[in-house]
């Protein structure tokens, strides 16, 4: 990752498969870092939400305009607030590349087993993504752990601890505070 000025707006994208805790962790992380939080799912067009609710995985063509909207939103909010934390699946490297056009972007990959996440999803209420799509999420996931602007955090703890571990990982790898 290219070093940015210390005062450069920072965009943190909390990523992973559905049910891994992206929204909860991203919200907590934004609170911990005094940044702005947005669930990327809120930026999906109605057509994408309808498809997912019907159990149909989104195609890359469905996702591209949404990812561009997420990147624009993140860039705007990071300029306004200094830090913007977005919950977004970002399963493929090409998706992460699109999101990285927003500026000073780092990804926090929430890592957990399919069994653990499936168990969490079965207890979740009121979400448009059915747990039947979890297999397709894991199949689509392109391992981000070797990418320069990604830190990995286990989801085996509670939300405050996961957020704390994310902050520690961001610091360890020089992403927070923003690199000088």
Instruction: Classify residue 1: in a domain, yes or no.
Output: no
Give residue 61's domain range: 12-172
Instruction: Classify residue 105: in a domain, yes or no.
Output: yes
Residue 126 reports pLDDT greater than 60: no
Instruction: Classify residue 5: in a domain, yes or no.
Output: no
Q: Measure the CA–CA gap between 148 and 129, rounded to whole angstroms.
A: 30
Instruction: Classify residue 180: in a domain, yes or no.
Output: no
Q: Measure the CA–CA gap between 147 and 139, rounded to whole angstroms.
A: 19
Instruction: Classify residue 80: in a domain, yes or no.
Output: yes
pLDDT at 56: 85
Residue 159 sits in a domain of what CATH number? 3.40.50.300
Instruction: Classify residue 3: in a domain, yes or no.
Output: no
Instruction: Classify residue 4: in a domain, yes or no.
Output: no
Please report how many Cα atoms fall inside a 13 Å half-sphere around the Cα of residue 140, on the Cβ side.
Answer: 20
Residue 144 reports pLDDT greater than 50: yes
pLDDT at 178: 58
pLDDT at 147: 97
Residue 52 reports pLDDT greater than 90: no
Average pLDDT over every residue of 77-96: 97
How many domains does one find in the chain? 1
Instruction: Classify residue 121: in a domain, yes or no.
Output: yes
Burial group, residue 41, by CB count within 10 angstroms (0-12, 13-18, 19+): buried
pLDDT at 3: 43
Provide the token pair at 127: 């979400």
């Amino acid at each position: 990752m290219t070093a940015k000025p210390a005062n450069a707006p920072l965009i943190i994208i909390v990523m992973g498969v559905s049910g891994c805790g992206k929204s909860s962790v991203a919200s907590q992380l934004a609170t911990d870092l005094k940044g702005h939080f947005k669930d990327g799912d809120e930026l999906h067009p109605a057509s994408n939400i309808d498809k997912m609710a019907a159990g149909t995985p989104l195609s890359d063509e469905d996702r591209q305009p949404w990812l561009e909207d997420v990147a624009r939103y993140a860039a705007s909010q990071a300029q306004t607030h200094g830090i913007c934390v977005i919950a977004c699946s970002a399963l493929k490297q090409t998706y992460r590349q699109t999101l990285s056009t927003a500026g000073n972007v780092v990804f926090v990959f929430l890592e957990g087993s399919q069994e653990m996440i499936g168990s969490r999803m079965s207890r979740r209420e009121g979400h448009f993504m059915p747990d039947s799509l979890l297999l397709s999420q894991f199949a689509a996931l392109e391992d981000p752990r070797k990418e320069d602007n990604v830190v990995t955090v286990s989801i085996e703890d509670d939300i405050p601890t996961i957020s704390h571990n994310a902050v520690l990982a961001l610091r360890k790898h020089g992403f927070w505070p923003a690199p000088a």
